[in-house]
Amino acid sequence: MRMILEPKFVDYGSIHPTSADISHHQAQQHNPHGVLNPRTSTLLPINDEPANTSHQSKMTQGDLYQRQPLLPNPNKGDKWGHSAHSTNSNEYYDEEEIVQKSSERNGHISIDLPPPVREEPRFPQERCKTLLAAIVMFFSFVLTLTSLSLVHERVPDKEVYPPLPDVFLDNVPAYNWALDVSEYIIIFSVNTSLIAMIFHKHRFIVFRRIFLLMSLLYLYRAITMYVTVLPLSNRNYPCSPKANGTSPLMIVKRVAKLMSGMGLSVNGQHVYCGDFIYSGHTVILTFTFLLISEYTPKKLYLVHWLYWILSCLGVIMLELSHGHYSIDVIIAYFVTTRLFWTYHTLANNSILKQHSPSNLLGREWWFSLFLYFEGNVSGPLPRQYNWPFPWPRRWHLKSRDS
């Protein structure tokens, strides 16, 4: 015996049955075998249940749900009956979620993922570039000392040529002790600022910039002091006697002696004269203030003011000692600040890191060198600090922002 059931869903478009539905129902009653059509389905008895069981008359729609497969048929179409199998009905099928075309017969769904993209760090350390910048600064420093060793032989005799007219020097007497005060301020400012930069989170980038900027500043100084030699600004300054001639060996000895004293006279090693245009003392004092104000947190404004006061005090002491002409100090200030600000303007704006007709800063002769050292740095450096050493571990805390 075969049981004829209506499909899972019927047309709910109207409440009252139509004449076509009544005639169709009567035809089914006269047909014991149940002629199959798009609105009927035949259900065979289960293998473990006899065909003449009395439960057939009690078959419910829930039993039909139990017999449906758990996995969706990949050949099913969309909700509106647009299936792969031919059908003459446009009735609505309440199926599961539409299976993507990429689904397989075992129920697995393949999702196309984009290829992995390797994220480059915004602020790479690039330690080799930092080492290269340090080497460049060393050669620039040696070139400056070599220039001073040669200029010493060309300095006008202080017994014959008096100091040039200067508004400040002509009205203020010379205090020889003031030069030592200025150099002690330089020693303090340099050491403390370098220690602060060691604890910077991006210390290798910071030191790379320090080395490159100091290379440019001392290269300029080597040129300016060599092309124009001025008379001594202080007749009491001790100068080594001239050799009335130069040789490579003598130049090497002078350079070694100056390097042993780090270019300072407080330790008695700076005994060669003529390094006036422009002032190296002013360069260092100005540079340390700019360094602290640029890379330390803004909330440490008291520290910024302290370094500004120290810089001004060091320059004043330098002038009181008559160690430099006023023009030396002015040129040193302008060269240091303009070079520092130009470099960091280029470094902080990625759009300026390219040669273009509208980027006039790209016409600097050192711009290609800048692109090599700063090409991979994206934007301004955050003012963050961390512990630079692997010990002790308890000090490896999260970086502090500004």
Q: Token pair for residue 262?
A: 């780090």
Q: Token pair for residue 139?
A: 């050669």
How far apart, in Å, are the Cα atoms of 207 and each of 203, 294, 344, 375, 392? 6, 13, 13, 16, 24
Instruction: Please list the alpha-helical segments (H only) found in 228-325.
Output: 248-260, 280-295, 301-320
Q: Rounded distance, CA 196 to CA 341, Å? A: 20
At 377, the amino acid letter reads V
Q: Rounded distance, CA 306 to CA 309, Å? A: 5
Q: Token pair for residue 256?
A: 């070694």
Q: Are 309 and 161 in contact (CB under 8 A)?
A: no
Helix axes 248-260, 127-151, angle to 10 degrees: 120
Q: Are 388 and 196 in contact (CB under 8 A)?
A: no
User: For residue 221, what are the contacts with CB-CB under 8 A and spacing of at least 6?
Assistant: 144, 275, 278, 280, 283
Cα 69 versus chain centre, distance: 56
Across the chain, how many H-helices and E-strands are there? 11, 2
Looking at the annotation, which residues are catalytic? 281, 324, 328
CA atoms within 13 A on the CB side of 9: 12
